[in-house]
Amino acid sequence: MSGEFPSTIQAADPGQTVTETFGWQFGNWGLLLLASAAWGAQAQSGYSTGEKVLGACIALTGLALASLEVRRRLDRRRFLVQGGEVGVYRRGRLERVVPRSGIGLYIPEVLNTVQIVFGLVLAFCAAAGVAFAARDLADRCMAGLASAVFASAVASSVRTRHRCDILLVPHPKLGSRWVLLPTGQKGRLLA
């Protein structure tokens, strides 16, 4: 089945390939957690061992999320359609071939989208309110950064819901994998 597909994506015609895209939620949350850990570390009061461990866990989680954001942007999946099959390329190499008929379109529920955006807008308003009410410069900076992260999260959520299409691509171990494509590209992969 994969004999028809080139072993590397570089051998394919660039006009025939589709590259996945991403929102930036992992980067947002990673930045917020890293900034929170830094803000906590600069406070003047002494910390117990448990508080230090918690701060380290927050920083490591933020670093892991930020690293994941960088890693997945450097390792975008690319797809090549040939007839009724789609070659899935990862790290530039053919990973697997799936039938076009096995690829489905995921349509997000409207209420789910409203809840996500509403929650992020509330978080943005709370952080912005703290930024304006705080007296200490470090608190203002942290709250300002948090409000910027929440605003970015709102923008990412709106973009991924309204400017991108989510496809479910068959995966041998996971059953299916979500793939985000720019609007207008889904027709190239769907049967």
pLDDT in tens, 137-189: 777 787 777 788 878 878 887 777 778 888 999 998 988 888 989 888 888 88
Residue 65 lies in a domain: no
Residue 53 lies in a domain: no
Residue 150 lies in a domain: yes
Residue 28 lies in a domain: no
The structural domain count of the chain equals: 1
| pLDDT for res 95 | 93
What is the residue type of 71? R
With the C-alpha atoms ordered 171, 176, 180, 184, is the resulting torsion angle positive or negative?
positive
Contact criterion met (CB below 8 Å) for 20 and 180: yes
Contact criterion met (CB below 8 Å) for 88 and 99: no
CA separation for the pair 33, 40 (Å, rounded): 10
| pLDDT for res 49 | 79
Residue 12 lies in a domain: yes
75 to 34, 91, 142, 190: CA distances (angstroms): 23, 6, 32, 22
Residue 134 lies in a domain: yes
For the question of whether the overall pTM of this predicted structure is more than 0.85, the answer is: no
* Regions in the chain scoring below 70 on pLDDT: 1-3, 43-45
| pLDDT for res 93 | 94
Which own/partner pairs from 32-39 qualify as long-range (CB within 8 Å, at least 24 positions apart)? 32/62, 32/145, 32/146, 32/149, 33/58, 33/59, 33/61, 33/62, 33/65, 34/59, 34/62, 34/63, 34/66, 35/62, 35/142, 35/145, 35/146, 35/149, 36/62, 36/142, 36/146, 37/62, 39/138, 39/142
Residue 112 lies in a domain: yes
Residue 41 lies in a domain: no
DSSP state of 12: S
Q: Which domain holds residue 153?
A: 2-21+76-189
CA separation for the pair 163, 157 (Å, rounded): 10
| pLDDT for res 45 | 66
